[in-house]
Amino acid sequence: MTSEAASGAAEHRQERGARQELTGVVTSSKMNKTIVVKVTRTTQHRKYMRVTRSSKKYYAHDEQNEARPGDTVRIVASRPLSKLKRWRLAEIVARSRRVA
């Protein structure tokens, strides 16, 4: 690939915008190359100002099977990889202190 084509591809990626990123805790890694990440978000009620927590599970692709339950990870949006997987593992932010 020539340098002109490479720079054109890099420019195209920048125009598309940044991919959506989420940070959460791995709840399951029993599947091959797949992890389940629980992402918790806090919102404040508009009227009563009470802070509420809600969580959601995301299935993410883990190519090297390196994430373990309890790890804090960062996942990024990707193309659909299966029926449920729309995310992939970007990095492991913090390792769990639990011994496997």
CA distance 14 to 18: 7
What's the confidence (pLDDT) of residue 97? 85
Position 61, amino acid: H
What's the confidence (pLDDT) of residue 18? 87
Query: What number of residues does the chain have?
Result: 100
Tell me the domains of the chain and their CATH numbers: 18-94 (2.40.50.140)
For β-strands 51-61 and 87-94, DSSP reports them as: parallel
What's the confidence (pLDDT) of residue 14? 58
Q: Are the beta carbons of 94 and 73 closer than 8 angstroms?
A: no
pLDDT in tens, 11-67: 555 567 788 999 999 999 999 999 999 999 999 999 999 999 999 999 999 999 999
What would the mean pLDDT of 2-14 be, rounded to a whole number? 57
Name the token pair of 21.
């990123």
CA distance 85 to 29: 14
